[in-house]
Amino acid sequence: MRVAQIGSGTPEIAVVAGVHGDEPCGVRAVERLLDERPTVKRPVKLIVANEEALERQVRFVDEDLNRAFPGSPDAQTHEGRLAAELVAELDGCLTFSMHSTQSHADPFAIVNGVSETAKEIVPQLPVSAMVETSNFAEGRLFSAVDTVEVECGLQGSETAAQNADRLTRAFLTAVGALPGDTVRRDLPVYRLTDVIRKGQADTYEVFVDNFTEVEAGDPFAAADGNEQVADEAFYPVLMSPNGYRNVFGYAAEKLEVLETPTAAD
C-alpha cells in the first residue's frame, strides 16, 4: 500500500485508488495529484491500496479486497491484512474511492445509504446516478469507513482515467480542499434490491442497458442462449455478460431524484 499526503496537518479527507488491481484509472488520478501537488486548503491523504494486485494486473491476490473489510492484521489472506491496514489509515477520513467496471461507461456514485454527506457531495460530482447499496454492504470499504465510491467508466479505458481525474478534482473541490466551484446537478437515486445470478455456461449475453427500466416479462439476459425473463420490473445496475463470475449484476429500484435547490434571488 502506498500512502502519501498533499498539504500539511492531519487529513480528514482521503482519496483511494487501486482497491481492485485490474482498475488502473484511479491510480492515474492519484499519481497526477502527486506530480502536480496542487495547493490545498485542507490536507488530503492519497492511497494506492492493492499494489501487489496492480502489479499483476489482477482484481486481487487472494480475495476481493472490497469484500474483505474490516479485515484483521492476522488474516490468512493478503487482502484481509490489507483491509485492516487501510481501515487504520483511513480512520477519521471522509474517503473517496475509485473503481471501474465492464458494464457502464458513464460515471456513477455508489454509497452505503443516502446520508446527509452523500446528498451534499455526490450531486457536485460529474456522475449520472447515485446507487445506494446498503443491502449488499458486507465486507465493502464503506461498511468500515465513511466512503463515497465512484465507478469511473470502462475498465482499462483512457476515458475512465480521464473521468477519474475529473471526479477526484470535483470531490476535492466539493469538500473545500481545492479552490473553485462545482456544478450541482439533479441526480437520480437507485437502491440495489437483488443480485441477478447466472448459471454455469460458455456464453453470456445481456440485452438491456444499465439504469434503463426493464419491464415485467422482458428477457434481459441469456446463458448459453437460455433467456432470463424479468418477473417484475427493475432497473439493471452493474449488469454485464462477463464482469463477474457468478452474477450478471444487480436489480435496483429507483428511489427519487435529488433536485438542485433553486438559487434564491
Binding site for Zn ion (CB under 5 A): 20, 23, 99
Query: Other C-beta atoms within 10 Å of 239: how many?
Result: 28
**Residue 99 or 191 having the CB closest to Zn ion:** 99
**Residue 54 or 177 having the CB closest to Zn ion:** 54
CA atoms of 158 and 165, how far apart (whole Å): 11
Q: Give bridge partners of residue 150 from the DSSP assignment.
A: 98, 109
**Residue 45 or 99 having the CB closest to Zn ion:** 99
Distance in Å, CB of 259 to Zn ion, minimum: 29
Give ∠ CA 140-142-147 in degrees, rounded to 5.
140
Distance in Å, CB of 38 to Zn ion, minimum: 26
Distance in Å, CB of 18 to Zn ion, minimum: 9
**Shortest CA distance to 96 belongs to which of 81, 106, 109?**
109
**Residue 141 or 170 having the CB closest to Zn ion:** 141
Q: What is the DSSP secondary-structure string of 227-247? A: EEE-SS-BEEES--SSSSSSE
CA atoms of 89 and 80, how far apart (whole Å): 15
Return the residue nearest Zn ion (CB atom). Answer: 99
**Residue 49 or 172 having the CB closest to Zn ion:** 49
**Residue 66 or 124 having the CB closest to Zn ion:** 66
User: Which residues, in sequence order, are CB contacts of 107 under 8 Å at separation 6+?
Assistant: 125, 126, 127, 128, 150, 151, 152, 153, 163, 167
**Residue 99 or 104 having the CB closest to Zn ion:** 99
Distance in Å, CB of 87 to Zn ion, minimum: 17
Distance in Å, CB of 58 to Zn ion, minimum: 12
CA atoms of 24 and 164, how far apart (whole Å): 10
CA atoms of 49 and 4, how far apart (whole Å): 11
**Residue 21 or 236 having the CB closest to Zn ion:** 21
Distance in Å, CB of 73 to Zn ion, minimum: 24
Residue 101 near residue 155 (C-beta atoms within 8 A) = yes
Query: Other C-beta atoms within 10 Å of 167: how many?
Result: 27
Distance in Å, CB of 8 to Zn ion, minimum: 31
Distance in Å, CB of 220 to Zn ion, minimum: 23
**Shortest CA distance to 30 belongs to which of 176, 181, 174, 172?**
172
Residue 151 CA: distances (Å) to CA of 42, 130, 159, 241? 25, 10, 12, 18
